[in-house]
Amino acid sequence: MVRGLVQGVGFRPFIHRLATGRALRGEVTNRSDGVVVTLECNRQQAEQFAGDIHLLAPRAATIRSVEIIRKDIRSYADFRITASRDVDNAVTEVSPDIAVCDECLQDLVTDEGRIDYPFINCTACGPRFSIVRALPYDRVNTTMAPFAMCPRCEGEYQDISDRRFHAQPVACNSCGPEYTLNEEETTIKGISAILGRIASRLNAGLSVAVKSTGGYNLMCDALNEEAVASLRINKQRDRKPFAVMFRDIGTLKEYCSVSEEEETHLLSWRRPIVIVDSTIPLAPSVSSGLRTVGAMLPHMPFHHMLFRYISTPAVVLTSGNLSDEPIITGDDEAIRSLMPVTGCVVSYNREISNRVDDSVIRVINGMTGMVRRARGFAPQPVEIASDAEGILAAGAEQKNTLCIGKGRQALPGQYNGDVNNVATYDFYRETYTLYSSLFRFTPSYVVCDMHPGYLTSRFAGEISEEMDVPLLKVQHHYAHAASVMAEHQLGGKVIGVIMDGTGYGTDGNIWGSEFLVATCHTFERFAHFDYMKMPGGDAAVREPWRMALSCLLNYSDNNFDYRSLRLFQSIDERKFSIVHSMIEQDINAPLTCGAGRFFDAVSALLMLCPENVFDSEAPMRLESAIAARTDEYYPFSSGETIGLGDMFRRIVFDIDRIDTSMIAIKFHNTIARIILDVCMKIKKETGLKRVVLSGGVFQNRYLLGKTLTLLSERGFTVFTNHQVPANDGGISLGQLFLAAERRSSCA
Ligand code: ZN
Ligand code: ZN
Ligand code: FE
């Protein structure tokens, strides 16, 4: 019995080759809990076989365990692959998309018929989830269906000893999909002419829209400032950092400092974007002043080939979409929307069935954290401890994912973006329809956020009514905590520390600095930061200076001269006085204790980011400002609410006296100290030692690292998110887990 992620990655053909190579007879079959290999052999042969499974397994397989069981079996005439008996099990058989493998890259040069064929793939690599329309995962159920295999491809597809046996997207130069380059006036066919044309455009500082695995990307030379700046203007993406694809790992390491773990991720078959420290700067507009860069390596054969043609070692590769809309997948839409941005659209004639953005991860203290879970990860399940069959979790609003339950597997969907406009809401509903049909899912229980205004909660309400099934509403930060409990299969009581931006609280205020004592059935709010007014609601998120003013008004004495601060000198006088009176007179100023808002306030006070241009810009700039190293922190007071007044007064005093980087690090240390302090208190009262950390603020590398160190020094066992993001992308898993537990305790 082989357990792990072993389905839909060419595992059974691999076992077949392994067995026939040793002249062993028997069979291999899928079951819902793993793959069962039956062999007629002795103990020693079985052990050797198990060892080889670990050693030689396809790279997209993750072997968790191989268990050898002695049994009397009937005798076999040969070794065969038997069809899955369990129909339900078919759901887990779609693998995520897999980056092109080394053998296929070799074939690109030597395999006649596939020389320079940009869609080359095999059982171990190629598109999967992005092309599947229905299950079982067979060619007819993919967007490869319109392409009839030529006799040679067909032969390989049928030959069990071939690397392309049952590789559903198998194709070659004479039978498969092909690229087309479109410019205003011309159309170019033929891969070398297309790559040549792209090269001359990039060399000339122009950009190109290119169809990738799960959607369109925009591309330009990452070393050419003029090119990057003009792509920014054309895309109307003012400052948000662009991801960069480097020619190879050697080149990447020239520009970025990369740890061992980061290198492993960069080179893995999932090929995510990894956020790493940059050493030699790229064009300044790429990262707009942040010290990090979202780096990745080529994952499609097309990318590898492109780097043979272009002279730059690094290209910007960002999502091809309009502002906050979903990444574009349709070819006509790409021409309509992206042609005006780049003047050149490169597409191919195979449809994208499932939209998947690039995944983003970052490594903190040697541990992996997801920022965005999509290509290479979706639709891989997360195993949980309870039965979640039939549960639909609608997720949050921002960075949304939805999640469905199949038995003990949670299937988090791919990243949907912020579901707050028509385009993303449509995409969200599409994802739901797709998952329901792909995974033969009918909801019997629905769970959503408590927020009354979320479109996702409205959707959950509609489904629950339509299907006449129960609806559970879960508090946002409790769901964050539960996402970690689900991943680590934690039972019993834990301390939940959730540092977040916004989330609707049970008192109607906006929460986000939560110390919870939680089980999978209930939670208690132990402590939180002081509530601050948020003048203008969401406007205060876009304009961090408003939060700075709010904090100071709350924490300073009456005759404090606000205009003495550089920050407020930079704000239009009229606007300043309007916001000032909104706070004083309580007009449109909801209460928040979201940790993110305090990061905003400090970042604004330090003039790092008075106004946000992209999500979380102010906290990112504050973290990026850390250069010095110190363990010092600011004073704070802790009762039922945690007072940050002393800290703010000291920061204001420090502003023109000490270095900004010093203030930034002391602020981060203070938050970490508060976390330690409150956890010690909870431990004293309850004896609890297990802490789960979640919430978007923990994507801050410094804060998470510092918190982990402090807590583990004092004997706490700390758990964080690894398989789903700590940000709102992880909410749906938490919701699903809580609903599963709730249902099983009611049953
Ligand atoms: Zn391959
Ligand atoms: Zn062919
Ligand atoms: Fe959140």
What's the CA gap between 327 and 351, in Å, rounded? Answer: 14
Residues 668 and 731 placed together within one structural domain of the fold: no
* pLDDT at residue 234, as a whole number: 86
Q: How many angstroms is it from 73 CA to the middle of ligand 2?
A: 41
Q: What's 71's domain CATH number?
A: 3.30.70.100
Counted residue by residue, the chain has a size of 747
CA angle 693, 694, 695 (to 5 degrees): 145
Task: Say which ligand is closest to the CA of 501.
Answer: 3
Q: 238 pLDDT band (50/70/90 cuts)?
A: low
Rounded to 5 degrees, φ, ψ at 577 are: -75, -30
Q: How many angstroms is it from 194 CA to the middle of ligand 2?
A: 21
Domain membership of residue 501 (yes or no) is: no
Distance between terminal CA atoms of the chain? 32
Residues 344 and 370 placed together within one structural domain of the fold: no
Each residue's pLDDT tens digit, 584-617: 999 999 999 999 999 999 999 999 999 988 889 9
| Residue 542 CA: distances (Å) to CA of 326, 510, 533 | 21, 16, 15
In the numeric block, the tokens 């043609």 are attached to 309
Lowest mean pLDDT, pick from 14-28, 459-473, 528-542, 671-685: 14-28
What's the CA gap between 505 and 170, in Å, rounded? Answer: 51
Domain membership of residue 99 (yes or no) is: no
**Listed residues 85, 110, 143: the one ending a domain:** 85
Query: Which residues are 527's β-sheet partners?
Result: 515
Q: How many domains does the chain have?
A: 4
Rounded to 5 degrees, φ, ψ at 182 are: -115, 125
What's the CA gap between 96 and 214, in Å, rounded? Answer: 11
Q: How many angstroms is it from 251 CA to the middle of ligand 1?
A: 23
Judged against a pLDDT cut of 90, whether residue 674 lies above it is answered with: yes
Residues of the chain with pLDDT > 90: what percent?
83
Residues 244 and 385 placed together within one structural domain of the fold: no
Q: How many angstroms is it from 175 CA to the middle of ligand 2?
A: 4
Q: What's 240's domain CATH number?
A: 3.90.870.10
The pTM (predicted TM-score) of the whole model is 0.94
Q: How many angstroms is it from 730 CA to the middle of ligand 3?
A: 9
Q: How many angstroms is it from 106 CA to the middle of ligand 1?
A: 9
Q: What's 449's domain CATH number?
A: 3.30.420.360
Q: How many angstroms is it from 5 CA to the middle of ligand 1?
A: 18
Residues 286 and 427 placed together within one structural domain of the fold: no
Q: 333 pLDDT band (50/70/90 cuts)?
A: very high
Residues 286 and 320 placed together within one structural domain of the fold: yes
Which among 213, 144, 133 has a CA at the least distance from the CA of 430? 133
Q: What's 674's domain CATH number?
A: 3.30.420.40
Task: Say which ligand is closest to the CA of 167.
Answer: 1
Task: Say which ligand is closest to the CA of 478.
Answer: 3
Task: Say which ligand is closest to the CA of 172.
Answer: 2
* pLDDT at residue 446, as a whole number: 98
* pLDDT at residue 438, as a whole number: 87
* pLDDT at residue 747, as a whole number: 66
As a whole number, mean pLDDT of residues 422-432 equals 92
Q: How many angstroms is it from 170 CA to the middle of ligand 2?
A: 7
Residues 565 and 712 placed together within one structural domain of the fold: yes
Task: Say which ligand is closest to the CA of 176.
Answer: 2
Task: Say which ligand is closest to the CA of 164.
Answer: 1
Three-state SS for 356-423 is CCCCEEEEECCEEEEEECCCCCCCCCEECCCCCCCEEECCCCCCCCCEEEECCEEEECCCCCCCCCHH
Q: In the Cβ-directed half-sphere of 645, how many Cα atoms lie within 13 Å?
A: 11
* pLDDT at residue 439, as a whole number: 87
What's the CA gap between 128 and 223, in Å, rounded? Answer: 33
Burial class (CB within 10 angstroms; exposed 0-12, middle 13-18, buried 19+) of 461: middle
Q: Using the 8-state DSSP alphabet, how is residue 94 labeled?
A: P
Residues 260 and 277 placed together within one structural domain of the fold: yes
Task: Say which ligand is closest to the CA of 102.
Answer: 1
Task: Say which ligand is closest to the CA of 514.
Answer: 3
Q: How many angstroms is it from 697 CA to the middle of ligand 3?
A: 9
Domain membership of residue 132 (yes or no) is: no
CA angle 178, 179, 182 (to 5 degrees): 145
* pLDDT at residue 12, as a whole number: 85
As a whole number, mean pLDDT of residues 398-414 equals 94
Judged against a pLDDT cut of 90, whether residue 63 lies above it is answered with: no
Task: Say which ligand is closest to the CA of 174.
Answer: 2
Q: How many angstroms is it from 625 CA to the middle of ligand 3?
A: 24
As a whole number, mean pLDDT of residues 183-196 equals 96
Task: Say which ligand is closest to the CA of 396.
Answer: 3
Which among 610, 605, 609, 596 has a CA at the least distance from the CA of 700? 596
Q: Using the 8-state DSSP alphabet, how is residue 169 labeled?
A: T
* pLDDT at residue 26, as a whole number: 94
Q: Are 267 and 215 in contact (CB under 8 A)?
A: no
Domain membership of residue 266 (yes or no) is: yes
Q: Strand, helix or coil at 729?
A: helix
DSSP annotation string for 267-299: HSTT--EEEEEESS---TTTTTT-SEEEEE---
**Listed residues 85, 107, 124: the one ending a domain:** 85
What's the CA gap between 422 and 138, in Å, rounded? Answer: 33
Task: Say which ligand is closest to the CA of 121.
Answer: 1
Each residue's pLDDT tens digit, 247-296: 999 999 999 999 999 999 999 999 999 999 999 999 999 998 889 999 99
**Which structural domain, as residue segments, surrounds residue 679?**
529-720
What's the CA gap between 622 and 65, in Å, rounded? Answer: 43
Q: How many angstroms is it from 304 CA to the middle of ligand 1?
A: 13
Judged against a pLDDT cut of 80, whether residue 476 lies above it is answered with: yes
As a whole number, mean pLDDT of residues 389-418 equals 94
Residues 655 and 569 placed together within one structural domain of the fold: yes
Rounded to 5 degrees, φ, ψ at 678 are: -70, -40
Residues 190 and 81 placed together within one structural domain of the fold: no
Domain membership of residue 616 (yes or no) is: yes
Task: Say which ligand is closest to the CA of 112.
Answer: 2
Residues 702 and 735 placed together within one structural domain of the fold: no
Judged against a pLDDT cut of 80, whether residue 746 lies above it is answered with: no
Each residue's pLDDT tens digit, 682-724: 999 999 999 999 999 999 999 999 999 999 999 999 999 999 9
The residue ranking higher by pLDDT, 246 or 638, is 246
Q: 88 pLDDT band (50/70/90 cuts)?
A: low
* pLDDT at residue 668, as a whole number: 98
Which among 19, 171, 15, 32 has a CA at the least distance from the CA of 93? 32
Residues 611 and 650 placed together within one structural domain of the fold: yes
Task: Say which ligand is closest to the CA of 125.
Answer: 1
Q: Are 736 and 403 in contact (CB under 8 A)?
A: yes
Rounded to 5 degrees, φ, ψ at 418 are: -90, 115
Which among 223, 229, 355, 353 has a CA at the least distance from the CA of 293? 223
Q: How many angstroms is it from 325 CA to the middle of ligand 3?
A: 20
Q: How many angstroms is it from 147 CA to the middle of ligand 2?
A: 9
Residues 674 and 588 placed together within one structural domain of the fold: yes
Q: How many angstroms is it from 516 CA to the middle of ligand 1?
A: 48
Lowest mean pLDDT, pick from 92-96, 200-204, 345-349: 92-96
What's the CA gap between 377 and 403, in Å, rounded? Answer: 14
Task: Find the DSSP H helices in 27-127.
Answer: 43-56, 102-110
As a whole number, mean pLDDT of residues 24-41 equals 87
Domain membership of residue 112 (yes or no) is: no
Mean predicted lDDT score pLDDT of the chain: 94
